[in-house]
Amino acid sequence: MAAMRRLLQQLQPVLAQQAALRRALHIRRLHSPFPLAAASASPPAPAPAAHSPSPPPSLLPRSTGSLLPASAGAVVAAAQTDNARNARSLDVPLSLQLSRTSDCFASSSSTLLHGVAAPWAHWTTTPADDMVLMLAGANVAVYVLWRLADPNFALGPSMIWLDTYTGGRLHTLLTNALSHVDLRFMVDHFMISLDNFKSLRLHTLLTSAFSHKDANHLFHNMFGLYFFGSSIARTFGPGFLLQLYVQGALLGSAFFLTEMAFLAPQKQGFGGWNTPALGASAAVNATVLLYIFMYPTNLLYLHLFIPLPAALVGAYLIGADLWRVKKGNSRVSGSAHLGGALVAALVFAEMKGWI
């Protein structure tokens, strides 16, 4: 017994030291925002240097005199980290590699790409693909309004069958819709024209970029937005894609009005100075061409069948639009497309630090 007592007396300081160490680790876990990291045996990292607080979130991006959001560099770095974590083969065509990012943009010398506290970064937490779907959904919704505004829409065979199937309730719904939305309303508020501009319906500069009367026109624009817009949104964030879409739409509308005012024939009717236009082509063109500027050697399929380097596809698109402007009287507005192309060129130049 005496030997056991002496052994316990010798071990008592060691046990007390271990108990004190356990209490210290428990306190660190309680006060650390990362309990598992706080329990590490490594010495704590030095406190970060004090910095000024980030500006508060804002519903609209503050004007910086720039086309690029100030936190794009941080978004690129985060995207590259995520891509490194989920690395995959790059030897695949466009349809399988649209989300790939490029190292060259993270090392851009543009100061705008190195900021990390721009208000736009807090404006939306919408996932990248959801932003693309939201833009596409807005375009589809306006297309439905065009269908409802058409008096012949309710007289189609399919609508008559649906009306019979629903017991006449569909006819009542369409009648109520037509009392609020008609073709005059859609032309005044969802088409861009010199007449609308002179009448100060300036919202049509943007609303026309969500407007399609033809299902084929809608499909082709949304097809391009989905594939190329998804890549841009995953690289730079959903807010960046939204800004790119809006800027492409606005400059495309401005280019179209300029063409109508100075280049179009001074006559009434189609092809004349007051020809109206609609469609998301300028906004989608800005998205497509920014992708092409970023990845000029990627393989794209022209008209879905002809494999070409992205740079050649971009040259074809811009050349075709220049030819449309020169020829005039085209049902496709080359000037609006060129407005979107200019937005893409300016954004890319700012990425590279050229402007």
Q: How far apart are CA 16 and CA 18, in angstroms?
A: 5
- CA 1 centroid distance within chain: 80
Residue of 215, 243, 214, 216 lying closest to 229 (CA atoms): 243
Alpha-carbon radius of gyration of the chain: 29
CA distance 115 to 100: 22
Cα–Cα distance, 227 to 125 (Å, whole number): 21
Active site residues: 281, 337
d(CA 232, CA 351): 13
Cα distances from 148 to residues 109, 159, 181, 211, in angstroms, run: 51, 11, 7, 13
Q: Specify the amino acid at residue 283.
A: A
| Residue given tokens 């008609």 in the structure block | 182
> Would you say 323 and 258 are in contact if contact means Cβ atoms under 8 Å apart?
no
Beta partners for residue 277, in sequence order: 192
At residue 291's C-alpha, the angle toward residues 289 and 292, to 5°, is 60
Helix boundaries (H) for 150-237: 157-165, 169-178, 183-190, 194-198, 204-207, 215-236
Under 8 Å between Cβ of 291 and 232: yes
